[in-house]
Amino acid sequence: MANIEQVTKENFESVVTNSSTPVLVDFWAEWCGPCKMLSPILDELAAEFDGKVTIAKVNIDQQPELAQEYNVMSIPTVKIFKDGAEVKTEVGVKPKPFWKQEINGLI
């Protein structure tokens, strides 16, 4: 199974900003029911697009500074980065075909 990167303020730049592939960053929390619904979809996408896209997660309870910096108001929020820049934000759970279409548009 492909690796999902756990992102902190210390490694955000190396994992997200400096990535050679597009990055989907999932802002989530343990207590969030919809976040738990999104997680297996992201796991599957990480495996399917291994090497073509990076899937990363930010636990907002452990990294409130990142959530604030990226204006995360509700979760789950997925921010898509390409070439170090934020290109899209999606809030809420979306089905796997939606994410596949988004990824295919990036690679």
**Distance from C-alpha of 1 to C-alpha of 49, rounded to nearest angstrom:** 11
Q: In what order do the strands lie in the sheet with 77-82?
A: 5-6, 54-59, 23-28, 77-82, 85-91
**Distance from C-alpha of 55 to C-alpha of 16, rounded to nearest angstrom:** 9
- Domain assignment present for 83: yes
CA atoms in the 13 A half-sphere facing the CB of 53: 26
The pLDDT tens digits of the residues spanning 43-84 come to: 999 999 999 999 999 999 999 999 999 999 999 999 999 999
CATH of the domain at 51: 3.40.30.10
Going by pLDDT thresholds of 50, 70 and 90, the confidence category of residue 2 is low
- Domain assignment present for 104: no
Burial label, 8 (beta-carbon count in 10 A; 0-12, 13-18, 19+): middle
Tally of domains within the chain: 1
- Domain assignment present for 101: no
Judged by DSSP in three states, 43 sits in: helix
Residue that wins the pLDDT comparison between 9 and 3: 9
**Distance from C-alpha of 24 to C-alpha of 86, rounded to nearest angstrom:** 10
Which residues are catalytic, by number? 32, 35
Going by pLDDT thresholds of 50, 70 and 90, the confidence category of residue 3 is confident
Task: Determine the structural domain holding residue 73 and report its residue range.
Answer: 5-92
Answer positive or negative: Cα dihedral of 16, 8, 75, 50: positive
pTM for this structure? 0.95
- Domain assignment present for 98: no
The pLDDT tens digits of the residues spanning 5-45 come to: 999 999 999 999 999 999 999 999 999 999 999 999 999 99
